Amino acid sequence: MKEFLIAGNWKMYKTSAEAKAFAKELKEQKLPNEDMVAIMAPYTQLTTLVDEFADTKLGVGAQNVHYEKEGAFTGEISADMLEEIGIKYCVVGHSERRQYYGETDNAVNLKIKALLAKEITPILCVGETLEQRENGMPQLVVSTQLMNGLAGLSEEDVRKIVIAYEPVWAIGTGKTATPEQAEEMCGFIKGMIEGLFGEVCSYVVKVLYGGSMKPANAKELLSQPSINGGLIGGASLKVESFAEIARIAYEISNTGNFC
Ligand code: PGA
């Protein structure tokens, strides 16, 4: 059976009232694979979702973390703070954070270590810009982000990480990577993990695709052999489209229906 993670990335959308309404509606869907489904919410909506999902297997994640345990870092949140309220996942190195907030590979690496110490699953985002793809270097960009992000980690650590391949040119643009492009890079990532940490590790690590995933393209993308789920922005804001993608993943995981 193929294991998936269908992770919604709400970015800076939804108030607490909106998050609560979404959670109630999502629970009513009674998804058969709740344990494979999670929402990455803004900080102020995290406890709302943790409370709403308490009687389900749905997961809750943050979108960022500081790597220090505590200190004079105005506006930041630590892994200890996330752990205390029951957070299961945390996105690190999203291209929007790399681009707008100067998040470096080194910071990403420290954040992953801080999260692993608290048993929170990091979702490490990697991906090239359009310019980098056109210059023929998407693999170089992704492998550099991966090597730096995972520096100093053991095989045991890496097994606990989720990697999301998100080509920057496909995020929020409506332009999806073709299933072949997505599979090529996710397969490349799995190959790198195998080279660095061994075959078992590359099998265990989930590699997600992100970038304009929606119900209309989810089946083809999720059926690719190296893709274990999606990091979903726009389509995670409505229960209907998000639940539909989760159901597609369930069908594929149940039928073993890979392309
Ligand atoms: P999108 O966002 O699905 O809206 O393209 C994906 C992401 O940025 O994680």
| Active-site hit among 34, 52, 66, 94 | 94
Element (H, E) at 231: strand 229-232
Residues 213 and 4: beta-carbon distance below 8 Å: no
Confidence of residue 213 (pLDDT cuts 50, 70, 90): very high
pLDDT for the residue numbered 173: 86
Residue nearest to atom 7 of ligand 1 (CA): 233
Residue 235 pLDDT > 80, yes or no?
yes
pLDDT for the residue numbered 259: 39
pLDDT per residue as tens digits for the range 141-168: 999 999 999 999 999 999 999 999 999 9
Its pTM surpasses 0.95: yes
Q: Give the mean pLDDT of the chain.
A: 96
Ligand 1 center to 246 CA (angstroms): 16
Q: Output the CA–CA distances (angstroms, integers) from residue 60 to 57, 83, 133, in the order listed.
A: 10, 11, 33
Please, what is the Cα angle at 52 between 6 and 249, to 5 degrees? Answer: 15
How close are the terminal C-alpha atoms of the chain, in Å? 14
What is the average pLDDT across 13-18? 98
What is the average pLDDT across 28-33? 96
Among 63-67, 102-106, 121-125, 130-134, the range scoring the smallest mean pLDDT is 130-134
What is the average pLDDT across 119-145? 96
Confidence of residue 256 (pLDDT cuts 50, 70, 90): low
Decide whether any atom of ligand 1 lies within 6 Å of the 232 Cβ: yes
pLDDT for the residue numbered 174: 83
* 26-63 burial: b if 16+ Cβ within 10 Å, else e: bbebebebbebbbbbbbeebbbbbbebbeeeebbbbbb
| Active-site hit among 52, 103, 128, 166 | 166
Element (H, E) at 28: helix 16-28
Ligand 1 center to 201 CA (angstroms): 26
Q: What is the dihedral of CA 16, 20, 22, 24, to 10 degrees?
A: 180
Look up residue 137 and give its amino acid. Answer: M
Q: How far is CA 213 from the centre of its chain?
A: 12
What is the position in ligand 1's atom list of the atom closest to the CA of 236?
3
Ligand 1 center to 106 CA (angstroms): 23
- What is the DSSP code (8-state) at residue 174? S
Decide whether any atom of ligand 1 lies within 6 Å of the 138 Cβ: no
Beta-ladder partners of 7? 38, 231
